[in-house]
């Protein structure tokens, strides 16, 4: 395996970052549990400006990509974007998550 100096590693085309990493973009994400928010469950916050835009996800149980959640927009007038939970679970959480 060949060794590259730090300067050579930056200019070596084999070690170049993919195009989507070509620019530095600040993306903030956080997982907050009930201890942090006093809201039952877990709140996931992402400010990423991709196709979905900045959002908040609320998981009443264990968070995970395949787990049902409530998705809300981030902005002056937050809106429910997707609700993958039964309404008797998500409806009471909306004011807590949007606050």
Per-residue pLDDT of 49-70, as tens digits, reads: 666 678 899 999 888 889 999 9
How far, in Å, CA of 57 to CA of 80, rounded?
10
28 versus 56: the higher-pLDDT residue is: 56
Could you tell me the strand order of the sheet in which 55-59 lies? Answer: 29-32, 42-46, 55-59, 70-73, 80-83
Q: Is the pLDDT of residue 23 over 60?
A: no
Q: Would you put residue 53 in left (φ > 0), alpha (ψ -120 to 50) or beta?
A: left
Question: pLDDT at position 42, please?
Answer: 93
pTM score: 0.66
What's the mean pLDDT in 13-23?
53
Least confident of 13-17, 37-41, 55-59: 13-17
């Amino acid at each position: 395996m060949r060794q590259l100096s730090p300067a050579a590693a930056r200019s070596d085309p084999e070690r170049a970052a993919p195009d989507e990493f070509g620019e530095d973009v600040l993306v903030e994400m956080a997982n907050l549990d009930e201890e942090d928010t006093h809201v039952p469950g877990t709140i996931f916050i992402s400010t990423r400006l991709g196709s979905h835009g900045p959002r908040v996800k609320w998981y009443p149980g264990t968070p995970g990509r395949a787990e049902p959640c409530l998705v809300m927009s981030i902005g002056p007038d937050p809106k429910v974007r997707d609700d993958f939970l039964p309404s008797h679970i998500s409806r009471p959480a909306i004011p807590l998550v949007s606050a």
